[in-house]
A and B are shown apart, each in its own frame.
Chain A
Amino acid sequence: MIDQNSKLIRKILINCAITFIVINLADSLTMIADGIIISKGLGAEALAATGLADPSYKIVSLFTGILASGMQFLCAQAMSSGDRKKVNGIFSAGMTVAVSVAVVLTALFFCFTDTLCALFGAKADTSVYGHLYDYLRGWFTGIPGFILFFVFSPLVTLDGNKKLLTAATIIQGAINIGGDFLSVFVLEAGTYGVGLSTGISFNISAVILLLNFIRKCSVFKPFSEKPDFDMLPKTFSHGLPRLTEQFSRTLAPIIINRTVIAVGGSLAMSAVSVKSSIMGFCFIIGNGVAESVGLMVQILYSEKDEELIKKTVKAGIRLLIILEIFFSAVMFLLAGPISLLYFSAGTEEWSMAVFVVRCLSASLLLNGCNLIIIQFLQGSGNILSVHIMTSFHRMIALTVFTILFGSLFGTYGLFIAIPVAEAAVLIGYIIVSRLLNRYVKFWNAMLRIPDGFGYNNENSCSFSITTIEEAVEVSEKIESFFEEHGVDKRTSYFSGRCMEELAGNVIEHGFTKDDKKHMCDIRVMIDDDGVVMRIRDDCKYFDIRERYESLSADEIESGIGIRIVYEHAKEVKYVNVFNTNTLIIKM
């Protein structure tokens, strides 16, 4: 029996990471295209106005980020324990809050557009003010879609519907860019048209994502359960790191930009602007891999699967190293041509920009590692550590090193601070984690896995199977394992029998439904409540609960295996996460 756990984890991780990378790439490209159309068609003042509108997105996305991130965490936890009722209670509560806030924000923003324009820095009776006002009125129509799109996205990922999420993101980008083009060059609708296309694109993409929840196999059924408002405080507390992130992201540039201007003047600042404009594009890999690791850890942490958690993080780091080394090398080599997009070759600002791009490319791998750590801490519910790590990563380290290196080495020192700050955060995390957990294994210290967490070799065992013969063999081993560990004979016996039926079903029906290669991983555990068995496979959606409920008492020849399982198990839970069938049976 080959251990296929790692393969399954790698497969899910790569699929997830590709989805996130494509989504981030589509987002970055949309922003770039948006900027080009506005500047070419409407001029610099219109571009400046859309830049001034940025805080309005930040306000909406701050709320959305907190809600989405908290919901994702709690839903993943409930899903890993197979508790659909809880999942949908949280989902319904989150939807209610999202829709209510969307309505209130849209109304408020429409009523106080003038105030917002002034707040965002546009002077009344100027052309920029007019552009900004028009742009905001257009995009505010999309606030409900914007909020729902970002609240739905992580849930659609948990549901394993990566294709729909990718399609919705690409369609959003296409409508946004197409709409901008039409508004500017055909309809001459100006910045109002540009804002409106953004709004429409988010509303349409939210509706597309909504389609996910009407799928039969979706775990999330809108308002199928009473909204669980009691979970809201927990939802917001798990989403709060987004506030720290946003705060650090806003504050850091203010301090850093002042230092850059003081040390290197406007030339250095223009080189830093190049960094800001390409940063989103450069971070797509790090963000994509880190988000995938975080999402998977949320599931595995609730399952207390220590080994699989470590395998996931290691697989994430390996994937990051492979992709990021290649990407960084390309960026490093193309630093010159990239800087040519902004400055003429041979000028001082061009040389600075080349140096900044190279420093940025040198920091990408380190940045990705730090993002994985943050996402891991978030996934494992270590909220205080997320706040600390985010503050250091997004603000403190870069600010301190920029000031320090700027005063020590001058203008170029400012840029060297970028990779140095990333390295310092990573090394700092490793040292502090080691100091706080001196007597445990390296990975346990790094991942802050507490003593006595989860199951060990004494009270759990895992198998991977691909044939019926292996299913039978594993069932016997499971029976022996339980008996040897003090579980009574009857429970051990029927645990083995149930496993043979379930694992056999996966091999017999799941593995043969298509021509793809499949995996089935089994884990059994003993805890205070008794015996728990988990079967996970990557075959076609199959909900044992639905099958059992469809069986009639007269059909004695069908579903015999499932009847045996339901007759002897205390609890049978099914959930489909990341397109894998996960069955949890308590005996």
Chain B
Amino acid sequence: MKVNKVVDNGVMTVTVDGEINTVTTPQLAKEVEELGGIRYLVFDLNNVRYVSSAGLRLFLNCQRIMESSNGDMLIKNCDVLVEETFASVGYHHIMNVKAKEAF
């Protein structure tokens, strides 16, 4: 999994390439460890084939951190099956998850 992180004027954009599974999630977690001063966190999952429960848990943690700091979070460019994974555990109600077509 490759992760590209860009921080610009309080906006952190994390572009992920690969699979967010049990093994790779800790690597992604390290990239978003420090969210101080971030108002808007964007995950670009255009090249992500799937997200496992470990990945979902990480997104939930990030969402909570952002909410506590009055920030916002967006997960964009999701594959239709990845979006369905978010929906299957009800996360589409608490997170801003956008499919590829919808963005």
Contacts and interface: CB of A to CB of B under 8 A. Distances in A.
Interface of A: 468-469, 471-472, 475, 490, 493-494, 496-497, 500-501, 504, 508, 553, 556-557, 560-561, 563-564, 567-568
13 contacts: A468-B22, A469-B23, A490-B81, A494-B81, A500-B52, A556-B60, A556-B91, A560-B57, A563-B88, A563-B89, A564-B53, A564-B88, A567-B89
A472 B22 contact: yes
B87 to A, nearest CB: 9
Q: Give me the 9 closest cross-chain CB pairs, A-B, nearest first.
A: A560-B53, A567-B88, A561-B53, A563-B89, A504-B22, A472-B21, A493-B81, A560-B56, A472-B23
B85 interface: yes
Contacts of A553: 90
A564 B60 CA distance: 15
Interface residues of B, number: 17
A284 to B, nearest CB: 47
A26 to B, nearest CB: 47
B26 to A, nearest CB: 11
Contact of A560 (B23, B81, B89, B94): B89
Nearest to B57: A560
B89 A497 contact: no
Contacts of B21: 472, 475, 500
A557 B60 contact: yes
A496 B23 CA distance: 15
B44 to A, nearest CB: 21
B88 A501 contact: no
Most-contacted residue by chain A among B53, B85, B91 (CB, 10 A)? B53
A125 B81 CA distance: 88
Contacts of B50: 493, 496-497
Given A472-B21, A500-B52, A556 B81 contact: no
Contacts of B81: 490, 493-494
B94 A556 contact: yes
Contacts of B54: 504
Given A475-B21, A493-B50, A564-B89, 5 more contacts: A468-B22, A469-B23, A497-B52, A500-B21, A564-B53
Interface string B66-103: 00000000000000010001001111001000000000
Contacts of A557: 57, 60
B89 A500 contact: no
B52 A501 contact: yes
A355 to B, nearest CB: 66
Interface in B8-52: 21-23, 50, 52
Nearest to B52: A500
Interface of B: 21-23, 50, 52-54, 56-57, 60, 81, 85, 88-91, 94
Given A490-B81, A557-B60, A564-B85, A501 B53 contact: yes
Given A556-B94, A561-B53, A500 B22 contact: yes
A556 B93 CA distance: 11
A496 B88 CA distance: 15
A469 B24 CA distance: 10
Contacts of A500: 21-22, 52
Given A497-B50, A500-B52, A501-B53, A468 B23 contact: yes
Most buried by B among A553, A556, A560: A560
Contacts of B90: 553, 556
A553 B53 CA distance: 16
Contacts of A469: 23
A508 B22 CA distance: 10
A494 B90 CA distance: 16
Contacts of B94: 556
Contacts of B53: 501, 504, 560-561, 564
A335 B43 CA distance: 80
Nearest to B81: A493
A560 B54 CA distance: 8
Contacts of A497: 50, 52, 85
Contacts of B85: 497, 564
A159 B38 CA distance: 55
B49 to A, nearest CB: 9
A472 B94 CA distance: 27
Contacts of A568: 88
Contacts of A471: 22
A564 B54 CA distance: 12
B89 A556 contact: yes
A511 to B, nearest CB: 13
Contacts of A490: 81
A504 B23 CA distance: 10
A434 B71 CA distance: 75
A504 B53 CA distance: 10
A508 B25 CA distance: 15
A169 B32 CA distance: 60
Which of A468, A497, A501 has its CB near the most chain B CB atoms (within 10 A)?
A497
Nearest to A503: B22
A373 to B, nearest CB: 45
A493 B79 CA distance: 12
Contacts of A493: 50, 81
Nearest to A473: B23
A255 to B, nearest CB: 67
Contacts of A564: 53, 85, 88-89
A241 to B, nearest CB: 49
B79 to A, nearest CB: 10
A493 B56 CA distance: 17
Nearest to B61: A557
Nearest to B88: A567
Contacts of A567: 88-89
B88 to A, nearest CB: 4
Contacts of B56: 560
B66 to A, nearest CB: 15
B101 to A, nearest CB: 17
Contacts of A468: 22-23
Contacts of A475: 21
A471 B53 CA distance: 14
A322 B35 CA distance: 64
